[in-house]
Structures are given as structure tokens and as C-alpha cells.
Amino acid sequence: MADTQVVMSLKEKAYQMRVNLLTLCGTFEGSVHIGGDLSMTDIMIALYHYGLHVDPKDIRMPGRDRFILSKGHGAVGMYIAMALKGFFDFDEILKTYGQLNSAYGMHPCKVNLPGVETSSGSLGHGLPIGCGMAFSAKVNQEKHRVFVLLGDGESQEGTTWEAALNAHQYKLGNLVAFVDRNCLQLDDFTEDMMKMEPYGDKWKAFGWNVVEVDGHDMAQLVDALDQLPSPESDTPTVVICRTVKGKGVSFMENNPDWHAGSVSEEDMNKALAEIRAAWDKERGE
């Protein structure tokens, strides 16, 4: 069972990540995929600050876990989670995000930003790439895991399910998929665009170990990571995280209009006040 102090420390990092996300969204002169960044915040903190075996001081460490952001439009969320881990400085993200020649583009690029394992943005490719990495690790008898974060909209794509079949066929127990299941995609609610429920049953039918959690409950995320099968096992795992797009900001939550956008200074301050109030309540203040 998740350690209370560990969980509280991770919650504090998630709070800071949300503050940083909203600060960037309110100062960048352009659109940020803020809704999905907020829905994946707790997942990213649980991964980078608890589950992933990575070292920002040794980014090419052979035994490191690999992480692939398949939903590449969530790049800001990944950058900030990595910055909080010590890979780079948030102020540099804030100053240069989205600018020409910036390492912090609207989609991640491994050429421009050391520590990023895979360039992404074209949806439906992350899990296939993860399969290749996991298969290579198996062949070479390497013990690390490969983690992939998918959006639920992209899991409507055939490439995702072809990769799921491949992972089962080749017994890739070292492959772990996390799904940011916020039930919203670019245009509308996922179930109105392409029905996917019963979602977990589909993964089970493809031969995966299926874990379903509240993607905003840090203790559940920690427990899911603690209970992962050995990377030497034969069955890949998917952790379906039930989340809320725009989590923590009342006017963004579960609102299709906030797939991407920017906020005025007034709205940014309102959003930050809500985030801080929730954190104060969490700490009992």
C-alpha cells in the first residue's frame, strides 16, 4: 500500500506542476494544450517522480526506463514534469517555449531536447514505437521497462490495436501503457465520436493485463506502479487512468473547448487561485 508521506510529496509536485502549466498558458502568446496537460499531470508526476528509473544527471544510462509521450500534444506537461525532476529549468521553458529553434516545441523532439526518448505528435505511433523498444530489450536481455502514455482519442486508431496485438504475441511484459482516459478528444467527447466502452475489456481481449485507476488519485497511481508485473514477465500491462480534462480549473473541467487555448491574466489568476485553494484544503489549511 502506498506510503502516505511519499504520496503527499508527489501531490505537492503535482500542485506545482499545475501552477507552472497555468503560468505558461497565461504568459505564452499562443495556444497551449492545457486541458490534456492538466488531465495528465498526476500521471506524469507519478511516473517521473516515482515509477520511472531515470536519472537527469545520466540521461543515457543504459539501464534506464524509457518513456514515450504518444500524445505528443501534451509536450508541455512532459517538459514541466521533467523540469521538476531536474532535467532542465522551468524558467528556460517559460522564456523560450514555442519559439523558433527552442528546444521546447509544441511537440517533443529528441534531437533538440536531450532526455526525450522519442519525437512525437502524429498520433497512434507511440505504442508501436514502444513495442519496438520493448522487443529490442527482450532480445538483448535488458531488464528495463518501456512506458508509453497514450491519449484515449488516439486509441481509436488501428495502429494502436495492431501494436497491442504485437505486444501480446511477443510477450512484452516489459511494456507498460498508461492511458489518459479523460473521454474528450479534439472535437468532442470520445464516446460521441467513436464509442470505445467497455474500454478495459478491449485490452483484455487483446491479451493485456488491465489495471483501472482514478488518474487523479496519487495513492492509486503509486499502487499501480508498485504492483506492475516483473519486466521479465510475458504479459504487457495497460493502466487505464480515469481523468478529467482541465482538472482543477472549474471553467476548463470536462469542457471540449479547452482541448487547447490560452488564458487572459484575469482567468489565469482565477485558475491559480482555485489550484491553490485545493492544495490548501489537501494540506488541511
Report angle CA 17, 68, 166 to the nearest 5 degrees: 145
Chain segment 21-68, per-residue pLDDT in tens:
999 999 998 999 999 999 999 999 999 999 999 999 999 999 999 999
Mean predicted confidence (pLDDT) in 61-83 = 97
The CATH number assigned to the domain holding 198 equals 3.40.50.970
Report angle CA 212, 218, 219 to the nearest 5 degrees: 80
Domain that holds residue 114: 4-282
Whole-angstrom distance, CA of residue 81 vs CA of residue 46? 10
Number of compact structural domains in the chain: 1
Q: What is the mean pLDDT of the chain?
A: 96
Mean predicted confidence (pLDDT) in 69-76 = 97
pLDDT at residue 283, as a whole number: 92
Residue 212 pLDDT > 90, yes or no? yes
Task: Please choose, from the candidates 140, 144, 160, the residue with its C-alpha nearest in 3D space to the C-alpha of residue 152.
Answer: 160
Mean predicted confidence (pLDDT) in 225-237 = 98
Half-sphere exposure of 236 (CA within 13 A, CB side): 30
Residue 284 pLDDT > 90, yes or no? no
Alpha-helical runs (H) found in 227-284: 265-282
